Structure 1
């Protein structure tokens, strides 16, 4: 029997909000976090939020598809930071534009995005496994 899992959009919306809050707090209270973690934390949380957002939108897609789309999106945003024109740099100067588009390309951001997507995958696996357990107990 093939296990079909549809992600609960309400749960994923709550998770997205939690990750967003953690990301904003990591920026504000980064001085509390050790430097070797703080360097990557914001970008990893951003990528986790992207993963959860993709899982929210495509709630019936397989984990591999969601992970590939989320990682591709993050990498494309990072690569877009190599492009500098007045119109996009003006968008980047706004708070929301800077949070979404970033400012400058860094190879280390690609590592942080990979870690963040990995965290999203782990969260998704935990949720889907617990769903399987609950589903099998109700039979």
Structure 2
């Protein structure tokens, strides 16, 4: 089961990255959708790295990572600004601190947390039958 769950989270992680990148290139998609997808990607990454972690632990780690990365945008040393000037650096580290990003990250991880709990409870009900 461990290998299957890692594969599932890797596929979800990969799909979320693709959707997140598309959200940045399709101008009609609001920016907060990309921010929510970024947080969901972090969640799936944590799930991939720690497949046996409890869901609540995954939520806390994911939120912490997102909040740290967002807060790090307030730090403007030359070395990190030059990293952010690259495409990959901008996609991973962002460009400027926004409270709305914190909110989008919280909603994104909250949504994936609720979906995962619904799927788990549904699976548990089916196993009891």
- Report if TM-score (shorter chain) is over 0.5: yes
| 1:1-139 equivalences in 2 (<5 Å) | 8-31=5-28, 33=29, 38-133=30-125, 135-136=127-128
CA contact (8 A) 1:52 1:120 kept: no
SS at match of 2:14: helix
**Cα deviations by residue, 1:14-37 (Å, 9 ceiling, x for unpaired):** 111111111111111132x3xxxx
CA contact (8 A) 2:6 2:48 kept: yes
**Cα deviations by residue, 1:88-139 (Å, 9 ceiling, x for unpaired):** 01110111111110011011110000011112212322442344345445xx
**Cα deviations by residue, 1:71-102 (Å, 9 ceiling, x for unpaired):** 00000000000000110011101111111100
Aligned length: 128
SS at match of 2:74: coil
Q: What RMSD in Å do the two structures reach over aligned CA positions?
A: 1.9
1: CA distance, partners of 2:50 / 2:24: 29
2: CA distance, partners of 1:48 / 1:69: 12
**Cα deviations by residue, 1:27-69 (Å, 9 ceiling, x for unpaired):** 11132x3xxxx13111100000001111111111111100000
SS at match of 1:59: coil
Structure 2 unaligned spans of 5+: none
Distance 1:51 1:127, change over 3 A: same
